[in-house]
Amino acid sequence: MAASDTAERVKKVVAEVLKVDPAKVTPESHFVRDLGAESIQSIELVAAFEEEFGIEMDPDEALSVQTVGAAVDFIAKIVKEQAG
């Protein structure tokens, strides 16, 4: 899976779950500070990413991810690990 494809899918999920304009979702966007994610939404994001990518993430590790770019990298790593 191409990194750009992963990034686009992450962006789409973030925009849907947090109800923000996809144009405002950049790799540098901080989930809480820039996108207004509350703790319950962070949990919803993890679940939505798992569903979108067909993966299972460690909740503590996933919730420690602070930015959209870091989430893309984290998800790409998990997808690669779990695809094998």
pLDDT, tens only, 9-52: 999 999 999 999 999 999 999 999 999 999 999 999 999 999 99
Q: How far apart are CA 19 and CA 72, in angstroms?
A: 19
Residue 10: per-residue pLDDT: 97
CATH class of 3-83: mainly alpha
Amino acid at 81: E
pLDDT for residue 1 is more than 90: no
Top-confidence residue, 58 or 84: 58
At 48-64, the pLDDT tens digits run: 999 999 999 999 999 99
What are the residue boundaries of the structural domains of the chain, listed by start?
Answer: 3-83
Where residue 83 falls among pLDDT bands split at 50, 70, 90? Answer: confident
Residue 2: per-residue pLDDT: 74
Q: How far apart are CA 75 and CA 70, in angstroms?
A: 9
